Amino acid sequence: MTHLAPEVRICNTVFGLSAMVCHYLIKGRVQGVGFRWYVHREAGTLGLRGWVRNTEDGHVEVLAAGEPDDLATLRELLEQGSRGSRVDKIIEHQLDDTEGKDLGPFQIEGAW
């Protein structure tokens, strides 16, 4: 497994915080390789709320809300990627907690 240094890392996963909302933009070979389905499965297993979707420019975007430990685990799983994917870069931002208030169970957007 290759660990990547993010271009921007603002999402601080400090212990003791009750809930966080993070946005991730994943660049590399991440479309057409089951990456969204992989993220959906792993985020659901972690009990996160949010969504994953393809972007028009060939990347994958994730919005996830949950406990800091679970978001840190998701970050590691995003770096690992699905079988057949190649993650070159992850850009990550922490959003205001209010951004997660309307998020439901983790889902794939635009999958159909």
| From 9, 12, 29, 36, the catalytic residue | 36
- 26-49 confidence digits (pLDDT tens): 999 999 999 999 999 999 999 999
> Cα(38)–Cα(4) distance, rounded to whole angstroms?
19
Active site residue 54: yes
Confirm if 74 and 40 have CB atoms less than 8 A apart: no
Is 12 tagged catalytic? no
Cα 64 to Cα 1, 38, 39, 58, 102: the distances in Å are 23, 14, 10, 20, 12
3-state helix, strand, coil in the chain (%, to 5): 25, 35, 40
Residues 72-91 have pLDDT tens digits of: 999 999 999 999 999 999 99
Q: Please report where in the chains the tokens 């420019």 appear, as a residue.
A: 57
Residues 6+ apart with CB under 8 A from 1: 79, 80
Selected catalytic residue, list 54, 75, 83, 86: 54
Helix extents (H) in the chain? 35-46, 68-80
Could you tell me the pLDDT band of residue 18, with boundaries at 50, 70 and 90? Answer: low
- pTM (predicted TM-score): 0.82
Q: How far, in Å, CA of 50 to CA of 88, rounded?
A: 23
Evaluate if residue 6 carries a pLDDT over 50.
no
